[in-house]
Amino acid sequence: MGLGRLPPGVSARLQAIQGGRQLQRKLGALGLRVGSELRVEHRRGRGLVVAAGASRVALGGGIVDKLLVVPLPEDSGGNTAAAAS
């Protein structure tokens, strides 16, 4: 599923980056790599602000469209299973 389809507050794992090496390097420098866990903080037009670890990153709509994610299940407390461990 595309990152842009997630509502704010939902956590997901970055599954794929549909872009070239330069985009992968740029995102890696921001702490976003395949396998990274991130959470949608809020929307900015077509773009998103996501939390990755202790960092928040603003991503434009063009980049958001190139990121495929897998939503993480929530535990009974409303947190993701990975955050609870």
Q: Report CA 33 to chain centroid distance, whole Å.
A: 10
**Residue 74 pLDDT:** 79
Q: Which of 3-7, 22-26, 76-80 has the lowest mean pLDDT?
A: 76-80
Domain 3-73: homologous superfamily in CATH: Ferrous iron transport protein A (FeoA) (2.30.30.90)
**Residue 83 pLDDT:** 46
Q: What are the tens digits of pLDDT across the range 20-35?
A: 999 999 999 999 999 9
Please state, as a whole number, how many other Cβ atoms lie within 10 Å of the Cβ of residue 64: 20
Q: What are phi and psi of 31, to 5 degrees?
A: 90, 10
Say if CB 14 and CB 67 are below 8 A apart.
yes
**Residue 85 pLDDT:** 42
The yes-or-no verdict on residue 81 having pLDDT over 70 is no
Confidence tier at 79 by pLDDT (50, 70, 90) = low
Segments making up each domain of the chain, as ranges: 3-73
